[in-house]
Amino acid sequence: MALVQLRDISQVRAGDKGNTVNIALFAPSDELYRIFLREVTPEKVKAHFRGWIEGEVIRYEVPNLMALNFVCRRALNGGGSSSIRMDNLGKCFGTNLQRMMIEVGGK
Amino acid sequence: MKIVRIGAAQGFYGDALEPAIVSAKRGDIQYLAFDCLAELTMAILAKDQAKDPNKGYTRDITPAMQYLLPIAKDKGFKMLTNAGGINPEGALQEVLRIANKLGLHGLRVAVVTGDNLMGRLDELQESVLTLEDLETGEKLGTVKDRLMFANAYLGAQPIVEALKQGADVVITGRTTDTAQFLAPLIYEFGWSQEDWNELAQGILMGHLMECSGQSTGGNFSGCWWELKDLDLIGYPIAEVREDGSFVLTKPEETGGLVSVDTVKEQMLYEIHDPTAYVTPDVIADFTTATLEDIGPDRVLVRGATGKHRPDSLKVVMGYENGYMGQAMVGYSWPDALRKARAAEEIIRKQLQRRGWEYEEVHAEYLGFNSLHGPTVEEPQEELNEVYLRMTVRAKTREDADRFGRLFPYLALNGPPSLGGSFGTLTSRQLLGMWSTLIPREMVEREIKIRIEEVSV
């Protein structure tokens, strides 16, 4: 078992729709995709973004792209044209997720 | 085998024009499609039109058409754009003016209207539509008197109709980002409104194209430092076959990269449920699609599947929602973060002492947590410099404006080494967004298509 930061083993892209942000997280291989499925749960993502995402986090699985798509509600201080944050369009949520450390290898 | 070549020209209001010109000149395209509208853009255009009733369309349509219309005439491609925004008729007049000036006689410019519901809200509400917000479930009554715009998202069909009527340029208001890209395929291949899988492929193609450079290396989160010549990035071009499968590529000798890795990031951009991407034309499932690298800067995309289009259309409304006041001050090493924090405390105490109340007071530190908020831990090593940015949510512009006035005092009366003070940044009007669904028939019966020909 080893702890690895998502930054080193993933691609990401985030975007906004109203007050909702979605974060797409891409694995580089099937093996790592299966590990992401196990390790990057919506509960852990919600906890990772404590104080920043107020609503629920829903996870969609996209096996054909070896990707997970996290839809995060009430995440943007009201939405792009209403937010008083610097990152009012939520473009940096993907890199934020890449700070997460996960356990790789079998259990 | 018939192949339709479509180029992407613009991913947002203000996008670079040069890559579109490259595709126009060297892309061997039959259609050039623009997506100019984001939620925020509609808000900007609404404010624009409030100042001048002739405006309300994206102003960069002027340089775009000045450069591209002569090339389009020479090469024989058509252009499709939702640059009309809040005022498609205004955009039409601007394009006609430019075409006249360029002497492009015979050019046929179509305008599609009917998406703008501002004048119809009472009528719609009389039909027992509560128009409640999709996110909060609230009824529209609470914000109706503050609305600045209300537009339904139209699909590709009115654009197809305009093409059938012989349009060379089609201008719309709020069509979906993908509609401009899908429409030429329906027109060229004669897809029916129930060819769900073909339509889903067309939507996927449009989705990959609508953000221009975002599928050709822009915003790429992989080995972005290895990409060549992002200053000369090529915008995507799709070569689409009748079954809807397509190759995504870009003009030769342009910068950036088209690969499975760059394309897949765009595939999930601003998508919620990937098995049900809802558009007015089809509900598309992207999880059945495959991407394949088949050559340098060539990705083959196929296999998206579709389900019956929805019975309702999405409507997005924007309403006045107060003002943001903002200010920024920088502090240098040593103890930069500590100084900035002390400055925040001084401002908060001043607010209290003066009795200035705001709905929200927000502080963030550039160089530390302004982009990732409270989720980041304080850096171990000392920062060379830190900017304190403070913003407030105020009910009136006056209240927002006066917030900034507290900051200049910090220069002499606060912690040492303040540099680069922006105590007087202009306040910004905030707009709330209201999304709702209405039966499509109520919108579609009002859609109008009109073509004007540039005469001698």
- Torsion sign over Cα B371, B375, B380, B386: positive
Q: Model confidence at B135, in pLDDT bands (50, 70, 90)?
A: confident
Mean pLDDT score across all residues of chain B: 96
Q: What is the mean pLDDT of residues B234-238?
A: 98
- Residues B256-285 pLDDT 10s: 999 999 999 999 999 999 999 999 999 999
Q: Model confidence at B404, in pLDDT bands (50, 70, 90)?
A: very high
Q: What is the mean pLDDT of residues B344-358?
A: 98
Contacts of A52 in chain B (CB under 8 A): 372-375
Are B33 and B9 in contact by the 8 Å Cβ rule? The answer is: yes
Where exactly are the structural domains of chain B?
A: 3-115+153-310, 319-433
Contacts of B133 in chain A (CB under 8 A): none
Lowest-pLDDT range of B118-127, B197-206, B306-315: B118-127
A64 touching chain B per CB within 8 A: yes
Q: Is A73 in contact with B389 (Cβ distance < 8 A)?
A: no
Disruptive mutation site among A16, A52, A72, A81 for chain B (greatest number of B CBs within 10 Å): A81
pLDDT value, residue A107: 56
The answer on pLDDT for B413 being more than 80 is yes
Q: What is the mean pLDDT of residues B246-262?
A: 98
- Residues B87-120 pLDDT 10s: 999 999 999 999 999 999 999 999 999 999 999 9
Q: Model confidence at B320, in pLDDT bands (50, 70, 90)?
A: very high
| Beta carbons within 8 Å of B341's beta carbon, 6+ residues apart | B365, B388
Q: What is the mean pLDDT of residues B73-89?
A: 98
As a whole-number percent, the residues of chain B with pLDDT over 90 amount to: 92
pLDDT value, residue B45: 95
Return left, alpha or beta for B296; rule: phi > 0 is left, psi -120 to 50 is alpha, else beta: beta
Q: Is B433 in contact with A20 (Cβ distance < 8 A)?
A: no
Q: What are the angstrom distances between the C-alpha of B433 and each of B17, B136, B151, B174, B241?
A: 29, 11, 11, 15, 38
CA distance to partner chain B, nearest, from residue A56 (Å): 12
Q: What is the mean pLDDT of residues B180-201?
A: 98
The answer on pLDDT for B197 being more than 60 is yes
The answer on pLDDT for B441 being more than 80 is yes
What ranges in B102-144 are assigned the alpha helix state H? 121-126
Distance of CA B166 to the CA centre of its chain: 28
Residues in B 137-196 with any Cβ partner in A closer than 8 A: none
Closest residue in chain A to residue B219, using alpha carbons only: A13
- Residue A53 is part of which domain span? 2-104
pLDDT value, residue B425: 82
Q: Is A11 in contact with B261 (Cβ distance < 8 A)?
A: yes
CA distance to partner chain A, nearest, from residue B40 (Å): 6
Can you state the angle between helices B61-75 and B88-101, rounded to 10 degrees? 60
Closest residue in chain A to residue B359, using alpha carbons only: A84
What pTM did the predictor assign?
0.96
B425 touching chain A per CB within 8 A: no
* Angle, CA of A24, A27 and A32, to the nearest 5°: 140
A22 touching chain B per CB within 8 A: yes
Disruptive mutation site among A86, A100, A101 for chain B (greatest number of B CBs within 10 Å): A86
Q: What is the mean pLDDT of residues B130-154?
A: 89
The CATH code belonging to domain B319-433 is 3.30.70
Structure-block tokens of residue A11: 């691609």
pLDDT value, residue B262: 98
Q: What is the mean pLDDT of residues B65-74?
A: 98
Q: Is A22 in contact with B275 (Cβ distance < 8 A)?
A: no
Lowest-pLDDT range of B42-56, B347-361, B382-396: B42-56
More confident residue, B424 or B163: B163
Closest residue in chain B to residue A26, using alpha carbons only: B265
Mean pLDDT score across all residues of chain A: 96
Disruptive mutation site among B216, B219, B221 for chain A (greatest number of A CBs within 10 Å): B221
Q: Model confidence at B125, in pLDDT bands (50, 70, 90)?
A: confident
The answer on pLDDT for B72 being more than 70 is yes
Q: Model confidence at B253, in pLDDT bands (50, 70, 90)?
A: very high
pLDDT value, residue B39: 83
CA distance to partner chain B, nearest, from residue A27 (Å): 10
The answer on pLDDT for B286 being more than 90 is yes
CB pairs < 8 Å spanning A and B? 133
| Beta carbons within 8 Å of A22's beta carbon, 6+ residues apart | A14, A15, A69, A70, A71, A72, B268, B270, B271, B272
- Residues B205-214 pLDDT 10s: 999 999 999 9
CA distance to partner chain B, nearest, from residue A2 (Å): 22
DSSP secondary structure of B12-23: STT--SHHHHHH
Q: Is A24 in contact with B265 (Cβ distance < 8 A)?
A: yes
Disruptive mutation site among B270, B358, B388 for chain A (greatest number of A CBs within 10 Å): B270
Q: What is the value of ipTM here, to two decimals?
A: 0.97
- Residues B11-61 pLDDT 10s: 999 999 999 999 999 999 999 999 999 888 998 999 899 999 999 999 999
pLDDT value, residue A106: 64
Contacts of A65 in chain B (CB under 8 A): 264, 267-268, 291
Q: How many domains in chain A?
A: 1
CA distance to partner chain A, nearest, from residue B304 (Å): 11
* CA atoms of B133 and B435, how far apart (whole Å): 5
The answer on pLDDT for B363 being more than 70 is yes
* CA atoms of A70 and B147, how far apart (whole Å): 31
Helix, strand, coil percent content, chain B, rounded in steps of 5 = 35, 30, 40
Please tell me which of the candidates A48, A62, A84 has its beta carbon nearest to residue B268. A62
The answer on pLDDT for B316 being more than 90 is yes
Closest residue in chain A to residue B370, using alpha carbons only: A86
Q: What is the mean pLDDT of residues B429-440?
A: 93
pLDDT value, residue B141: 81
B222 touching chain A per CB within 8 A: yes
Are B148 and B182 in contact by the 8 Å Cβ rule? The answer is: no
- Residues A50-65 pLDDT 10s: 999 999 999 999 999 9
Give the max Cα distance, chain A.
45
- Residues A29-56 pLDDT 10s: 999 999 999 999 999 999 999 999 999 9
* CA atoms of B116 and B159, how far apart (whole Å): 16
A33 touching chain B per CB within 8 A: no
Q: Is B40 in contact with A81 (Cβ distance < 8 A)?
A: yes
